[in-house]
């Protein structure tokens, strides 16, 4: 027996999947609901208005009937009878006005007229007390003749006393018929409004379909969830701006790299970041690809791409570590070149020493070895005597070797003195390294090239000066050189230039200090960096008897540059 075929899965009823269909269906439903609501809101006051008109018409008939003098006289002189004059006059008025009934009653509420002659002589079915008290009454009542719009007025004799009342009723079915007769016209207007609404809904749905690429709501919800996960999961800062240039979105990495919080949303980059290159890049005032900028101590690479709605999306990558590795690579290459030169120089010295020994000039050989060892020791001692921080001392000894290889004399100023009390040695190492590298680049290849470094403390303030004998910096460019990305030199293959001096100024300003450049005495450039609160308070120490001041223990030496160790 062959297996029975699997019945097809029944489709579950519900909204269509396509957004176009969903939006169209919802908008048509809304338009229909609005049309029904508007019709109901229109019919409700219309019904009240028609009821009011009917009651006033009944009241008007009752007032006209009450003004007939014969009715008052007949009511007082004749008994209630189906053939009586009151009944005849009331029926005449009823037929002339097409009212449902015209009832005349005495002061006790006994009927003198009625459309049903059998009711004459009986008590009225509705309360006549208000009309018999001299008041006019309009109401929708249910009596023996059914539901009617009623008007009641009192009857007065010649002396002005109430002797009875007149009650007139208008068929309520006639009011309802007028109301129902108006419904087709109202429905026609409502249908026309619904058709216009459906057309507008179709046009809007088509526009939404083009803008959303006909995705379902569930697809859009999934895309939004994926976008949030991607934005906050990638290790690259993302900043979205609207068409007015205000921040619309930041991911977690952008918060970290820029050092700002959610308060930045809705504000311009200038308001959030302050004036500077980073704000200029985000605002689009600086254009290009892979633009370098400095934010705090971070070196960032920024790219900005405009969007179709007039806004833009900027991405930020952290190149701080890469920049540091690039500088270390530069230093390593410089040290390798210096070691290669020292190896060559060492071979020459060994050859010289070997020649002295072969010539049996032993005294000269001993003197030669002493001079070579003494030169190297003197240079290291000069640095460590004046700069007590080991990181800075090691940096300057290494820079001296690199400077010697490049044919530049690196000197320590005779005013240099820096104790081992630095709060942030790494930051000062960055500042000194960048300024010395910049000075070496400026004087390389020039005759009598020289770079002088001065490091001293004034209380807790550290003052750094780096002078060179290069071509100097024109006055109109002395502020421009501290801008990120600005450089007059070709960048090396592994990194870009234009960051070092900007980073120096940023580090100085973060500590409340400053970084400036002026013309050095005798030509060249002189960079000055002031770092307030850079040194910790000195620890009190007992003064030993006979202790000499710093100047006597570390005498000024101006006869020997730092770079002599590699000569």
Whether 296 is in a domain gets the answer yes
Residue 306 lies in a domain: yes
- 86 with 172, same domain? yes
- DSSP H or E run through 261: none
DSSP-assigned beta bridge partners for residue 149: 140, 170
Among 272, 294, 318, which residue terminates a domain?
318
CA distance 227 to 229: 5
Residue 433 within a domain: yes
Q: Are strands 298-306 and 312-318 parallel, antiparallel or unpaired?
A: antiparallel
Instruction: Quote the pTM value.
Output: 0.44
Identify the band that residue 559 occupies on the pLDDT scale cut at 50, 70 and 90.
Answer: very low
Q: Is residue 206 part of a domain?
A: no
Q: Say yes or no: 512 and 422 in one domain.
A: yes
- CATH code, domain with 96: 3.30.450.20
- 364 shares a domain with 261: no
For 516, list phi and psi in degrees, rounded to 5. Answer: -135, 165
Task: Specify if 222 maps to a domain.
Answer: no
Considering the domain architecture, whether residues 385 and 525 belong to the same structural domain is answered as yes
Cβ-contact 565, 401 below 8 angstroms = yes
- Phi-psi label, residue 3: left if phi above 0, alpha if psi -120 to 50, beta otherwise: beta
Same domain, 36 and 146: yes
Q: What is the pLDDT of residues 494-528, one digit of tens each?
A: 444 456 787 888 888 878 888 999 998 888 899 99
DSSP state of 387: B
The mean per-residue pLDDT over the stretch 69-73 comes to 84
Tell me: do 333 and 263 sit in the same domain: no
Domain that residue 31 falls in: 21-178
Give the separation between CA 7 and CA 394, rounded to whole angstroms: 84
Of 232, 323, 320, 241, the closest CA to residue 279 belongs to 241
Per residue in 289-327, is it b (16+ CB within 10 Å) or e — as a string? eebbbbbeebbbbbebeeeeeebbebbbbbbbeebeebb
Describe the chain by its helix, strand, coil percentages, rounded to 5: 50, 20, 30
CB distance 281 to 314 below 8 Å: yes
Which DSSP symbol is given to 458?
A: E
**Statement: residue 237 has pLDDT above 50:** yes
Is 11 within the bounds of a domain?
Answer: no
Q: 306 has which bridge partners? A: 312
Domain count, the chain: 3
Q: Which two three-digit tokens encode residue 306?
A: 């405009």
Residues 245-282 have pLDDT tens digits of 888 888 888 888 888 888 888 888 888 888 878 888 88
């Amino acid at each position: 027996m062959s297996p029975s075929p699997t019945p097809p899965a029944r489709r579950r009823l519900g909204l269509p999947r396509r957004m176009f269909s969903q939006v169209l269906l919802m908008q048509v439903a809304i338009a229909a609901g609005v049309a029904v609501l508007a019709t109901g809101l229109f019919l409700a006051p219309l019904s009240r208005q028609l009821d009011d008109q009917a009651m006033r018409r009944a009241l008007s008939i009752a007032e006209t009937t009450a003004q007939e003098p014969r009715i008052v006289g007949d009511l007082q002189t004749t008994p209630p009878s189906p053939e009586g004059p009151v009944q005849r006059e009331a029926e005449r008025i009823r037929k002339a006005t097409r009212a449902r009934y015209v009832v005349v009653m005495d002061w006790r509420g006994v009927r003198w007229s009625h459309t049903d002659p059998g009711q004459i002589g009986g008590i009225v079915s509705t309360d006549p007390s208000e009309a018999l008290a001299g008041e006019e009454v309009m109401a929708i009542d249910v009596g023996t003749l059914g539901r009617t719009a009623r008007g009641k007025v009192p009857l007065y004799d010649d002396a002005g006393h109430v002797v009875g009342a007149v009650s007139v009723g208008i068929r309520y079915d006639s009011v309802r018929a007028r109301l129902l007769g108006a419904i087709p016209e109202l429905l026609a207007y409502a249908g026309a409004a619904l058709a216009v609404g459906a057309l507008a809904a179709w046009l809007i749905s088509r526009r939404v379909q083009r803008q959303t690429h006909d995705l379902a709501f569930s697809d859009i919800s999934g895309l939004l969830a994926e976008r949030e996960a991607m934005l906050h999961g990638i290790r690259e800062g993302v900043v979205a701006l609207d068409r007015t240039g205000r921040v619309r979105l930041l991911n977690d990495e952008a918060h970290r790299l820029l050092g700002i919080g959610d308060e930045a949303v809705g504000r311009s980059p200038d308001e959030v970041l302050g004036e500077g290159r980073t704000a200029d890049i985000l605002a689009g005032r600086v254009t290009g690809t892979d633009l370098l900028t400095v934010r705090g101590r971070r070196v960032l690479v920024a790219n900005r791409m405009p969007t179709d709605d007039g806004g833009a999306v900027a991405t930020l990558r952290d190149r701080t570590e890469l920049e540091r590795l690039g500088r270390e690579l530069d230093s390593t290459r410089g040290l390798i070149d210096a070691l290669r030169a020292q190896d060559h120089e060492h071979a020459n010295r060994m050859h010289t020493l070997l020649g002295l020994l072969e010539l049996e000039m032993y005294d000269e050989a001993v003197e030669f070895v002493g001079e070579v060892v003494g030169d190297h020791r003197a240079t290291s001692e000069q640095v460590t005597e004046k700069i007590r921080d080991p990181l800075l001392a090691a940096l300057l000894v290494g820079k001296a070797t690199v400077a010697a290889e490049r044919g530049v004399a690196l000197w320590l100023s005779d005013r240099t003195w820096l104790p081992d009390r630095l709060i942030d040695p790494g930051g000062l190492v960055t500042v000194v390294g960048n300024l010395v590298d910049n000075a070496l680049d400026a004087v390389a290849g020039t005759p009598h090239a020289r770079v002088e470094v001065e490091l001293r403390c004034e209380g807790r303030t550290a003052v750094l000066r780096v002078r060179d004998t290069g071509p100097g910096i024109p006055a109109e460019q002395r502020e421009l050189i501290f801008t990120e990305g600005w450089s007059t030199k070709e960048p090396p293959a592994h990194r870009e230039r234009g960051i070092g001096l900007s980073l120096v100024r940023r580090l100085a300003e973060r500590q409340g200090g400053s970084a400036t450049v002026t013309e050095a005495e005798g030509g060249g450039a002189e960079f000055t960096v002031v770092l307030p609160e850079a040194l910790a308070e000195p620890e009190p120490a007992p003064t030993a008897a006979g202790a000499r001041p710093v100047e006597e223990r570390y005498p000024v030496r101006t006869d020997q540059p730092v770079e002599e160790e590699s000569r």
